[in-house]
Structure 1
Amino acid sequence: MADVKQKKKKKNAKEIIEENRKKIVEQLIQNMEKGYIFSEWAWNRNAFLPQNAITGKIYQGINRLNLSLVAIANKYEDPRWLTYKKLDELGYKLKEGSKGILCEKWLWERREKVVNKETGEIEKDENGKDKYQIIQLERPIINFFYLYNASQIEGIPPYIGAKTLEKTDILDIADNFIVSSECPIEEKFQESAYYSPIDDKITLPPRKFFKSDEAFLGTLLHEMSHSTGNENRLNRDIKNTFGTEKYAIEELTAELSCVFLEAELDKDIDFSRQDHINYFNSWIQVLKNDPNELYKVCANASKSCNRLMGNFEKVRNIENIQMLVDEENEIDEAI
């Protein structure tokens, strides 16, 4: 009797996404085993700002990490990404051999036609078209899509970089972050820097004892990233003992938050602390045990970065307004 070949089972969205996460984790583990998380990232800060080419909105969570790793590996200096459908609509063409990057999409709502309960017919709006309503879902619908970097697209206009911070002293940036902090920050004579979840307070050695202003800012942002996990803010599990898996997860969250912050500030910041290197083995073990843990870490790191940048920008805007008022007063006095 002839062998009957079994038809290969088609993978569902969840299986495809889980496979993709494993690939991302494998890449990160390879990097960590070499002694770093990201290679050659300092020169290519745009790699950490992957954004929708139409809206300019930065992709979040694990999509941000995945696109950043791909940009670094392929030396993409353009941070813009598009779906094939959108680039085709705009009249652009893909370069031969270009491959898309799989990204995740979680839908928490569904669009449905409104059905009249009495007649069973679809209701119409004032223009005679079918009326729709948005239904909130208790559990998300998991899906995926593919993105292409602008470097792979023919016909797309050249990238014009976003407006970055004007030339500003690193310590001025640090002071703005300190003012924006949602918890007290104290500089005192001691060797270690830490955030206390119990006291909800950040303690740092005096800035003059750091090897550079960049090192002071890097340490400040790392501890501020931890502080966003407070139960009254983003409510992460941060009250953990040193050496535990949960402690390592929180350290990786703060590390990625700082990387995202550096990209958005467009400044060289020194995050090279010895204890981060010591965490590599713990991070590797966590990711090997559960590749899906990276999804949670990336989501939390993005939320942390967004919260800190949002508070920072509010302080910067107030400061800029005050500077304009002071300049106008000086002009009035001179007239």
Structure 2
Amino acid sequence: MTTLVAMPEQTKVRRLNALRSALRARFFAVFLILVAVFVYFAVTQEQFLTVSNMNSMLTSTSTLWMAAIGMTFVMLVGAFDLSLGALVGINGVVLGLMFNTFGLPIEVAVLLTIAGGFVIGVVANGILIGQFGLSFLIVTLGTSWLLSGLVSLFTDSKTEPLISPWLDTLAFGRVAGIPVPVVVMIGVFAASWVVLNRTLFGRDIYSIGGNPQAARLSGINVRRTVAVVFGVAGLMAALSAIMQVSRIAAVSPQVNSEIMFQAAAAVLLGGASFVGGGGTITGTAVGVLFLGVMSNGLGLVGAPSYWQHVITGSIVLIAGVLDFLQGTGAGPIRKIMQMVTFRRTRPRVGERSPIDVD
């Protein structure tokens, strides 16, 4: 008599396909909500669809756009970056030092800030997490406090003006009638999409997020890849800082810790998974646009800003619950329901019984 045994590889493939389908479903759900919210504000608020308001809404999301893309890379490998706000703050300080203190040309200062952002991300977070295997929560929390302190130290807790025509053009200029920040956002989006979908590095990121052990056995240098991912997050934080400084024409001594939560919310709204391996740059873009439309529309309505937090937080919580049910939480809940209702489901060929103990 032949006994059929479950095939682990086939089971993993089925679960991975199911997870991808679920994440796509969540992405489209948020996209439909975005469309509905957009239409609602367009109908109820006369100023919403004006060109000036659309430009203002898009350019105001440029800072979050960059930060959220960086957070996407981190969450795809199954990690999280609590130091994102501090990274944005310290990169703004670096830009100020390069331009105001050392007198470098603004173009050189911007390039050095971007390169410095990558280095800070790798050294402060990537090496400790990727090479030494420390907890990303502990490392990024410590880095957040460290960098926040350095921001206050270098700025003396005072706002430092940073005046540059080049930065003014970056913040308020236009290319073929399109605001420069929007052009930069599109360029960063396209480059990130290519990296994740058309390069070996992007493939490695998804592999590590899906199964780090399997990725290591397949020959992927997991430690180096994770270190570089945090470097990418630092680089994107530098771009976010540059957009922020260009808009306010100053280096702020305040660390915007809220941008970390907004970036995480955008990534989760876009369909990313808490455990890594699932998520897309397109989904993150939809999440950022959702937050931007919500903030702009509620501002036109005159609603207090905390309502955006309430609505966005509720949606993120729902997304988290769905992610849990679609992932590891679905199995135990299904078993409990079957035990409570005394249902006995006959397993399919090659599968274990759903009430078997692992």
Which of the pair has the greater relative contact order for Cα pairs under 8 Å at 6+ separation? 2
TM-score by length of 2: 0.25
- Relative to total residues, which structure has the larger helix share, 1 or 2? 2
Instruction: Looking at secondary structure, tell me which structure has more strand per residue.
Output: 1
